């Protein structure tokens, strides 16, 4: 799960997908990262934490980390929160970029539409609730799709 700073969208996506996988007995390894290093080592945004907690998910122990080219060696599937994030992943990874491993998260809900998950960073709390709902629905689609594929993926970023 990758966004720009790894403090708003991708920590929510990590927490939501971990919760859903755990509840279904899946042993997936799920992490998140950001394409910039502005917040490395910081916890998720307070409103991301609040919205997650209101939905029964604790993301307070997560710490922002930076996306690296070696992530393509480690993860089976990498979900991007937005097209500009995918572009930054391509730049960071260089010749390690593997387009077959990358998908916009919302394409799990709206195949081929390439809709970005809105960045709630600059807005008020209601935007975080909307982002949570969108990510939650996409993560539910991931669980349904990839468990049908016989647990094809075990490591997700």
Catalytic residue (choose from 8, 119, 136, 139) = 119
**Is 3 known to be catalytic?**
yes
Catalytic residue (choose from 9, 19, 136, 139) = 9
**Is 119 known to be catalytic?**
yes
CA distances from 40 to 33, 36, 97 (A): 9, 8, 22
Q: How far apart are CA 97 and CA 76, in angstroms?
A: 13
**Is 139 known to be catalytic?**
no
Which tokens hold the place of 131? 């982002």
CA distances from 36 to 67, 97, 107, 131 (A): 8, 17, 23, 20
Q: How far apart are CA 4 and CA 20, in angstroms?
A: 24
Catalytic residue (choose from 3, 71, 116, 136) = 3
Active site residues: 3, 9, 119
């Amino acid at each position: 799960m990758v966004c720009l700073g790894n403090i708003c969208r991708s920590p929510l996506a990590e927490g939501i997908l971990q919760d859903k996988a755990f509840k279904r007995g899946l042993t997936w390894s799920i992490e998140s990262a950001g394409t910039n290093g502005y917040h490395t080592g910081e916890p998720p945004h307070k409103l991301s934490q609040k919205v997650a907690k209101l939905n029964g998910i604790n993301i307070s122990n997560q710490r922002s980390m930076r996306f690296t080219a070696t992530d393509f060696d480690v993860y089976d599937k990498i979900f991007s929160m937005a097209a500009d994030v995918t572009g930054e992943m391509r730049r960071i990874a260089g010749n390690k970029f593997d387009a077959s491993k990358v998908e916009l998260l919302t394409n799990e809900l709206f195949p081929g539409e390439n809709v970005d998950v809105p960045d709630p960073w600059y807005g008020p709390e209601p935007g975080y609730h909307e982002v949570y709902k969108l990510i939650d629905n996409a993560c539910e689609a991931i669980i349904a799709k990839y468990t049908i594929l016989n647990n094809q993926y075990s490591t997700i970023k």
